[in-house]
Amino acid sequence: MKDTPLEIGRAAPRFDAYAKLTGKEKYASDFYAPDMLWAGVKRAGVPHARIRWIKTDDAIRIPGVLSVLTSKDVRGTNRQGVVRKDQPVLADDKVRHCGDPLALVVAEDRETLAKALASISLDIEPLPGVFDPENAMAQGAPLVHEENPEGNLLLKGSLEAGMGEKGFEECDETVEALFRLPSQEHAYLETEAGWAIFKDDILEITASTQSPFRDRYEAAEAIGFDMHKVRIIAPYCGGAFGGKDGITVQSLLGLAALNNPGRPVKMWWAREESILASAKRHPARLYYKLGAKKDGIFHALSVRIYFDTGPYDNLGGAVTALGLEHSGGPYRIPNTSLKAWAVFTNNPIGGPFRGFGVPQVTAAMEQTVDMMAKSLGISPLDIRVKNALRRGDRNPAGTTLTGSTGIGECLRKISASRLWQESETWKKASPPFKKRGAGLASAMQGMGYGPLIPDTANAKIELTQEGLFRVFCGVVDMGQGNASTYLQIAGEILNQGLSGMELVLPDTARTLPSGSSSASRTTFTYGNALITASKTMKKRLLERASDLLMAKGPEEMTLVPGRVRHIPSGKEMPLSALAGILSDAERTSVARYRTPSAKDSPTRDPNLSLHGIPHIVFSYAAHAAFVEVDTLTGLTEVKGFLAVTDCGRVLNPQIFEQQIQGGIAQGLGYALCEELKTDRGVIRTPDLGTYIIPTSIDLPDMESAAVELHEEMGPFGLKGAGEIAMNGPFAAVANAIADACGIRIFEGPMTPERVLGALEKKPSCQEEG
């Protein structure tokens, strides 16, 4: 079965499944060696403070402690970040959130490490903090970065189309609401981990990361070491979802290893440390106002969005820009005024998380759409279909859609589904004290980095001496299965099965720079590069084999698993034999691909373009949630869920479904139970016992279908599928609860407490319509 050539469009078992199922796969957290050291960090524990003194003498005197390092020992810039470099490796002047690292300890074992960390005392002067994004922009608010000329503002963005706000003057109906969305923890099961060794003048760092090539220069610059002597190795991640898109342990490990040459040093954050120190989905406050004509045609949209980015950029500007660009949803709205602010606070760090700003705006927009439908007496489905974007339209951000645009098809497929068709009957059959409702949401997700940052991948494939095709995977597989899809792409072109292929995981010394595993770009960008590399390889192999076998030309030749065949004579040559004849240069093929950018200029603000606006390729989805609300307890159970997705052609139906189901699961957690609670910057849900992610009994069986429109630019017609499913569930559930009970919860997640509270208030202001 492993010899069966891989084919595009057919479900193939994942290449990584065997090693993961047998426990053989080595994640970054799985490294141990007899001479291994442990590194750990002393964290601030207070949200805002000036650092006077870090007392390390007691720690360094503990037997088995090798190093106790502070910012004074950092030789580089001591600043990390992708766009704005503002996050210290070890805090120097100030503490800006509770998770800031102050001292790095390296010890012989974990017990000694813990003892040493506990013995470090901090002399710090508490400063007034700022914990609300709107207050943070007020005059006189405490400043998170005193040197920032814009106070606590990280990024401000504005997009205007048509008549902007004036468009409301021509509307028959207007609805308005304020939505509050919580911070969401990634809760990847493998917490931040890695190990490093400084040997033979090379600093080698193995880390659970989504971005090894970027980490390499970011860490090198921050700790002051020659980038060319830094090697980053990125094994499969035990989950990442955006939370490992950037530096976590890398610089600290580099620092630890440089100070302890020749010995491997490991760092592995405990769950509580992970929740304390890692970036999370931005909490957001969104003011929405939508105007429409009597017939339900959208005419004007005004949006003000505040993203709490915590103390550091951490791609928060880019997250905000993507939220802004998607804030009007997949609809034609001729007059828009869209504004967003990313604001520094002393709350936990806001950063990339599957959807990258889009789940927040979709939660708000899609509820606003339902409110409009209700006001006008139009069904939620009809109003969406009426306004759904088509190819050639401009989206609310002002970008002309030149590629496949399947939101209309997604909605029609929902409408025709059994679940939707039977929903009225199902709702009527609700048990005592329970109410049932169905809710819809549309969603879209742009792909890639946008116009300015080159969205590039460099693929490499080699025919080994053994006659196997070795794919040098340049983009991390954080669990989504892109590495398997790369083999499938190469296998399809070279007509090989899994047994004829090998994989090299991202490693800055072996694979080629191909960007981060993020932005729904992973298969799109690297896949396109790999198609070219594989086709070049195929052409060369057929040409050389044709000469060797005295054929008339390569058109008489074909590749079969493990061999090349001369079709007219039936003569075959093993690929290993062919490989033996070829030079090293001939056995390798490389190709580069850069995702094109949109030709519109919806913004003249160069800062917004830098942060990614506009995108040109979008995936779309329509989601339907079927919920049952217990009117006695307020508990909402999702009884059914249907997702119809347009992410172009599906290359591997099983991997596609994995992404959709997983995205829905995280989206339902976001909607119903996940809330990172903070009190003046201090996290009140510090572990998995208090921060609740969905378990197997909290989720329904989900249905998923694809609208397989061909995307011209995509590899074999594909568009990214990694993020889109995260965006719809919140609003679909909110709309279903409104359908069931006539209440709308304007603050997420929609916990039993909030639902019950709204049910009790129902006769007054909370009631809809």
**Which residues form the interface with other proteins (CB under 8 A)?**
11, 13-14, 16-18, 20-27, 29-30, 32, 186-191, 236-241, 270-271, 478-481, 654-655, 657-658, 661-662, 664-666, 687-689, 693-697, 699, 701-702
Q: Residue 762 carries which DSSP code?
A: I
The amino acid at residue 335 is: N
- CA 627 to each of CA 211, 588, 624: distance values in angstroms, whole numbers, following the listed order: 38, 54, 10
Nearest residue (CB) to other proteins, 24 versus 418: 24
Nearest residue (CB) to other proteins, 325 versus 657: 657
- CA 126 to each of CA 51, 294, 581, 677: distance values in angstroms, whole numbers, following the listed order: 9, 56, 71, 22
Q: How far is the CB of 481 from other proteins (least distance, A)?
A: 7
Nearest residue (CB) to other proteins, 613 versus 706: 706
Q: How far is the CB of 240 from other proteins (least distance, A)?
A: 8
Q: How far is the CB of 322 from other proteins (least distance, A)?
A: 22
Task: State the Cα–Cα distance between residues 209 and 517, nearest whole angstrom.
Answer: 9
Q: How far is the CB of 486 from other proteins (least distance, A)?
A: 16
Q: How far is the CB of 675 from other proteins (least distance, A)?
A: 16
Q: What share of the chain is helix, strand, coil (3-state, %, to 5)?
A: 30, 25, 45
Nearest residue (CB) to other proteins, 244 versus 544: 244
Nearest residue (CB) to other proteins, 185 versus 221: 185
Nearest residue (CB) to other proteins, 190 versus 218: 190
Total residues found in the chain within this entry: 769
Q: What is the CA radius of gyration of the chain?
A: 27
Q: How far is the CB of 348 from other proteins (least distance, A)?
A: 18
List of residues 6+ apart from 194 with CB closer than 8 A? 28, 29, 205, 206, 207, 208, 209, 249, 250, 253, 266, 267, 268
Nearest residue (CB) to other proteins, 583 versus 696: 696
Q: How far is the CB of 78 from other proteins (least distance, A)?
A: 30
Do residues 248 and 205 touch, judged by C-beta distance below 8 A? no
Nearest residue (CB) to other proteins, 345 versus 652: 652
Tokens representing 529 are: 């590069």
Q: How far is the CB of 419 from other proteins (least distance, A)?
A: 15
Reported for 150-153, long-range contacts at CB under 8 A and 24+ positions apart, including other chains, are 152/343, 152/344, 152/345, 153/341, 153/342, 153/343, 153/344
- CA 700 to each of CA 98, 654, 668, 725: distance values in angstroms, whole numbers, following the listed order: 37, 18, 10, 15
Task: State the Cα–Cα distance between residues 78 and 85, nearest whole angstrom.
Answer: 9
Buried b / exposed e along 698-707 (16+ C-beta atoms within 10 A): ebbebbbbbb
Tokens representing 751 are: 């916990």
Of the candidates 426, 499, 507, 504, the residue with the CA atom closest to the CA atom of residue 472: 504
Q: How far is the CB of 191 from other proteins (least distance, A)?
A: 7
Q: How far is the CB of 336 from other proteins (least distance, A)?
A: 34
Buried b / exposed e along 733-748 (16+ C-beta atoms within 10 A): bbbbbbbbbbbbbbbb
Q: How far is the CB of 697 from other proteins (least distance, A)?
A: 5
Nearest residue (CB) to other proteins, 168 versus 353: 353
Sheet hosting strand 173-181, strand order edge to edge: 153-161, 335-344, 298-310, 284-292, 173-181
Instruction: Give the pairing of strands 230-233 and 265-268.
Output: unpaired
Tokens representing 532 are: 């070219």
The amino acid at residue 247 is: I
Nearest residue (CB) to other proteins, 307 versus 670: 670
Q: How far is the CB of 208 from other proteins (least distance, A)?
A: 10
Nearest residue (CB) to other proteins, 133 versus 728: 728
Helix or strand holding residue 179 (H, E): strand 173-181
Do residues 226 and 88 touch, judged by C-beta distance below 8 A? no
Task: State the Cα–Cα distance between residues 242 and 546, nearest whole angstrom.
Answer: 47
Nearest residue (CB) to other proteins, 188 versus 716: 188
Nearest residue (CB) to other proteins, 307 versus 486: 486
Sign, CA torsion 334/648/659/356? negative
Q: How far is the CB of 614 from other proteins (least distance, A)?
A: 30
Alpha carbons within 13 A on the beta-carbon side of 188: 28
DSSP secondary structure of 431-462: PTTEEEEEEEEEEEEE-SS-SSS--EEEEEEE
Tokens representing 562 are: 């493990």
Task: State the Cα–Cα distance between residues 303 and 330, nearest whole angstrom.
Answer: 15
Nearest residue (CB) to other proteins, 310 versus 481: 481
Task: State the Cα–Cα distance between residues 211 and 234, nearest whole angstrom.
Answer: 8
Q: What angle do CA 459, 464, 470 make, to 5 degrees?
A: 35
Do residues 715 and 482 touch, judged by C-beta distance below 8 A? no
Task: State the Cα–Cα distance between residues 309 and 284, nearest whole angstrom.
Answer: 9
Q: How far is the CB of 297 from other proteins (least distance, A)?
A: 36
The amino acid at residue 78 is: N
Nearest residue (CB) to other proteins, 18 versus 53: 18
φ and ψ at 359, to 5 degrees? -60, -40
Would you give the end-to-end CA distance of the chain in angstroms? 59
Do residues 496 and 4 touch, judged by C-beta distance below 8 A? no
Nearest residue (CB) to other proteins, 346 versus 520: 520
Nearest residue (CB) to other proteins, 686 versus 757: 686
Q: How far is the CB of 202 from other proteins (least distance, A)?
A: 25
Nearest residue (CB) to other proteins, 329 versus 722: 722
Q: How far is the CB of 269 from other proteins (least distance, A)?
A: 11
Q: How far is the CB of 223 from other proteins (least distance, A)?
A: 28
Q: How far is the CB of 17 from other proteins (least distance, A)?
A: 4
Of the candidates 137, 89, 154, the residue with the CA atom closest to the CA atom of residue 610: 154
